[in-house]
Every structure is written in C-alpha cells, then in structure tokens.
Structure 1
C-alpha cells in the first residue's frame, strides 16, 4: 500500500501521517497474502496444483488480487503452460493430455492405482484427435548397433512428446527416467502426469534442464 486510501497521502508507515488512519491490520493482511502466494508458487513448482490453488484462494481472501495473484490464477487454469517449451504444438499436445487426464480423473475419482488410470487414459486418447502410440519401448544406439533398454514411454504424442504416468511417491525416479528417455531418443520434451491425488498434476522435462554427462578419459 503506497498511498492512503482515505486522503491519498504517501505512506511510509502503517499510520497515515496526514489523516491518522491506521492500516496496521491491512498491512499485516497484505504481508500474509504475499507469503501465501509465495507458498503457492512453491507448491506449483512441486507439482501440487490443488494445494497451490488452495493457498491462492486464501491469499486473495486476505488481499484481493495483485499481479502475482492474477498470474497464478491464470496459470492454475493452464498448468500445461508452466515452464513449458515455446513450441505451440508441444503446448497443444500437453493441453490435450491434461484435458484427457482430467476427464479420466473426474470419472474414476482419486486414489486408484496407476495402471487403472493408464488403461483409461489410453482409451480416452483413442477417442480424441491426438496422434499417439502407447507403451513404447525405448532403444539406444552404441557402436553401430541398437539394443533395448528398461525404459518405456506410456504415450508418445505425435512422435515428439513422451508422457509417463507416475505415482506421487515415484515422482523423483519418474523425472530421472524421463530425462534419460528424452536424451536417448532425442525427443523435444517429456511430460510427467499424476492422476491419483487431489487433482491432476503434470510437469515438463526439457533437454535444456537435463545435466550434461561428464566424460572422464581413461
């Protein structure tokens, strides 16, 4: 709060130097709202959009909507755009995947095992216009030959975007697997997806975020 809403004087303290209005409570609410919005951003980065939305609602009840609040609200309605590549087609594929996952999650509810959501999502994707292949084996090349790896892609969208459905407890390993898949296959991006929690969550894995390997000469 830069100016007194009563007399428009510049504020340097919670009490207006001109009219004496005390905005201590309002200033405290503003600080609490900003802290809650910072927590909402952290939850969004952690792949917890439902918790982020709850924190944002609490923040906006305290202090209305500033630019950060408006940005967060828009982002929570379009989670596929968070930390996304600039490529519009990749974003469209991720949006379609998220919409399909939301439909499945709404129909089946939370708390089911991942294979249940995986089977339902494959059926849902088949009813949509998204080009995809399901349960794709990942191969690698070495010394002029090819060999199979233990990695698999749940859905490969348009030959460009690898999607893996994961349990919340397995998310760190899922991100490592996606990083390996993106690098081995030479894909433009990977997307992890979780349907069993309070809401559908997703996140990107991009080549630029994968640490380069350090080769040590023998």
Structure 2
C-alpha cells in the first residue's frame, strides 16, 4: 500500500469515527432516554433539522417521584411555524409545560411526573439549526438549585435562609429589601418597607415616577 493510499485510508477512518460520534438526524421516531443525564438535539452540530419533522424524545426516570429538568443550550426554529413542545408525562395528553419557537433560549423546564416528552414539529418550508438541550434527573426540583440554598428531603426542597420556591431559586426578600439604603427590612420572608417605600423589594418611592422595579 503506497503512502498516499495509506494516508487516505487513515483520513477516511478518522472521518468515519468523527461521524459516528455525531448524533443522527431525527427521523420521525421516538427516542427513549433512561440515564440520569443526557443531551437531546435534533441532529449533528451545524446542520439544520429537516422539513416536515415530527421527532419525539422521551425521558423516563426510574420512578414517578423523580424530577426532570431540561436546560436549553441553543434554540433556532422558524418563528411561529416550527415548534418544540415539552410535556410533563409520556404522551401528548400529559400537561403541556411549554411550546417554544424562534431563536430565544427558553428558561429551564421541570417535569414532576417522572417522565418528560419533547416534540419537534416543523412545516414543509424554511428550516433552521434546531435545538440542543441537556436534561438531568434528580430527586428534587432543580436539585434545590444549590446546596447553600436548600437541601432535598423526601423529594421536597427544604430551603435555607431567605430562599424559597419549589427549587429554592427565588429570594423571599429581593435585594434584601434595600436594607442598606434604609428602604426596608426582611421579616419572616417578606419585605417590610419603610415609610414612603413600597413594592416587592421596597424599591418604589412615592415620589419616584419611574414605577416599581
């Protein structure tokens, strides 16, 4: 075998190996994921999804008490025509968590049923590069955000300090109620505003025409 043929063979082998690592384009079938973490995408990086797509991805936890959180890394579909639908369950009759279209990355989405169904639908016209998202399966919503903000106890987040919400991601007293500026103080998870101030974080002064923030 000559050197040029050998180099061509090696290059072809590497190219085929790289191609094997790339996710295959979705093909109007349902792919099922049962791992605790994974990546979902409509196809190889840099390529567009196909016209007339109907692709499904089902994430199934090992029991119905688990939470599944989907985090979009990129999003690009024909606005108002091609959509990504996310359901809290394993069928289209399950509650719809959101429908997304365009080029804005959605916020994190959490399913509480132990299953999450994702559908990419496109029409027969213009197509874009699709979406890429990571999912994680945890015992509590969002894994209680951070250990410093809460801990998971029997599938429920027990929040620390002034953190609240199902996943301990929301400050109960935003901006500490402006305590350092004398606007208010935090009392039992709520802002108690000083005279002349109001609003969720005591950021609105009665003489300020800019409105609440």
| TM-score (norm. length: structure 2) | 0.32
| TM-score (norm. length: structure 1) | 0.31
Relative contact order, higher structure (CA 8 A, sep 6+): 2
Report the structure number with the largest CA radius of gyration.
Answer: 2
As a proportion of its length, which structure holds more strand?
Answer: 2
